[in-house]
Structure 1
Amino acid sequence: MDTMLDKRERILAAAARLIVRNGLQCSMAAIAEEANVATGSLYNYFASKEALVLGVYTRVSLDMAERLIATPPAAEPEATLRHYIDSYIDFIWEDHDRARLFDYLDNNPLITMEDAKAIFGPFVQHGIAMIEAAQAAKVVREGTPTMIMSFLRGAIRNTLKRQRLSGPHLSSGDRQLIADMCWSVIAA
């Protein structure tokens, strides 16, 4: 791997871990130490803490897009949306720290609305398009596609957040229950 990219990714991962642990109270020096890079070197990649936070948001967005903007080949709108629900459950459940980071970033917006739209726009538009296609096929209830997709993602994140309090295991039955509940709420 390119050492420049590797160092940048280490810095982003370190920043994400420290944001989860301490919020934004972490210093650039602490992030550099966590990433095992010199503080001065950190500034070669990110001119400011704000730029680093923007980088963390971008990394989260890229991870989400990579995992969740995959559509099963030739799938009908219902199958596509059900696949998305299953994939989102897996995405949120499989990495506790990423889920906590996402929760923190979602509840403590650290970037402007314009930056958020630019970073998460493709991901959000993909979700809206899935809902619109499912509504056109009459398999999803009428309503604002943005609200329906926001509901789905929020319901999954919050349910899994509470489930983690019970322990580190998510049974296949509980996982299926979450997916079924999500579908039953939005189904036409």
Structure 2
Amino acid sequence: MELDPIRRERILAAAAKLIVANGLQCSMAAVAEEAGVATGSIYNYFKSKDDMIRGVYAQLADVICGRLIPEADSPDDAKARIFRYIFDYIDFIWEDRERAMLFEYLSSVPLISMQELSQTFATINRYSLGLMAGGQHAGLLADIPPATLAGYIGGGIRNTLKWRRADPDPLTANEREELALMSWKAIAK
């Protein structure tokens, strides 16, 4: 039987929404209702609730990679590449409140093992570590492990924007610039 990729995406979107709202207490029946599918049909796409949760993580990792990793190597210098990464990260987190909440939840309360988490996000981790190592090699970044630098940027941006969302006004260009500059100054040599 050929499975409908659009239906699979609806199931994952429903699961993501309910995980943010209710944690793991969301039932497969609730996911099915939110997705507009029969409960039994979820099992055509996912063997179990754990398998569906892995699918939510994998989908999020794919979206992150698509937004933060350039399609081609940039001829820009290391500083420009790092700033582009910082600005892209800010935009990624700010653009979609629900996705940002999902990312925050899934990174704060991992629902899969750390080994699976590492494997799921391996592509973006390799990219960000390489970016930070390249910045160090160019003499731009502090002599701190690249994983710490990348983690600090991501965590700082996510946390800052999480609290900024309490203000109903849109993020201004000036705020975006200030956040990028703070992120840069935190890791720069």
Q: TM-score, normalised by structure 2?
A: 0.96
- Compute the displacement of 1:186 (Å): 1.0
CA distance in 2, matches of 1:61, 1:89: 16
Unmatched tracts of structure 1, length 5 or more: none
Q: How far apart are residue 72 of structure 1 and its match?
A: 6.0
1:78-157 to 2 correspondences below 5 Å: 78-157=79-158
Q: Which residue of 1 aligns with 2:166?
A: 165
Task: For 1:16-95, list aligned pairs within 5 A.
Answer: 16-70=16-70, 73-95=74-96
Supply the distance in 1 between the matched residues of 2:108 and 2:74 (Cα, whole angstroms): 35
Q: CA deviation at 1:50?
A: 0.3
Contact 1:72 1:80 in 2 (8 A): no
Name the residue aligned to 1:184.
185
Q: C-alpha displacement at 1:73, in angstroms? A: 2.4
Distance in structure 2 (CA, Å) of the matches to 1:92 and 1:15: 19
Name the stretch that deviates more: 57-66 or 167-176.
167-176
Q: Is the 8 A contact 2:74 2:81 kept in 1?
A: no
Structure 2: how far apart are the matches of 1:141 and 1:156? 18
Residues of 1 paired with 2:180 and 2:155: CA distance? 13
Can you give the 5+ residue segments of structure 2 that lack an aligned partner in the other structure?
Answer: none
**Structure 1 segments (4+ residues) deviating >2 Å:** none
Task: Answer yes or no: is the 8 Å Cα contact 1:85–1:179 preserved in 2.
Answer: yes
Aligned residues: 187
d(CA) in 2 for partners of 1:141, 1:104? 29
Identity, % of aligned positions: 44
Note the C-alpha offset of 1:153.
0.3
- Letter of the 1:131 partner, please give it: M
Residue type of the partner of 1:19? I
CA displacement 1:107-153 (0-9 Å, x = unmatched): 11100112111100111111000000010000111110000100000
* Inter-partner Cα distance in structure 1 for 2:148 and 2:155: 10
Q: Relative to 1, partners in 2 of residues 1:168 and 1:58: Cα closer, same or farther, differing over 3 Å?
A: farther
Amino acid across the alignment from 1:88: Y
Helix, strand or coil for the counterpart of 1:165?
A: coil
State the distance in 1 between where 2:155 and 2:118 align: 18
CA distance in 2, matches of 1:82, 1:176: 10
Over the aligned positions, Cα root-mean-square deviation in angstroms equals: 1.2
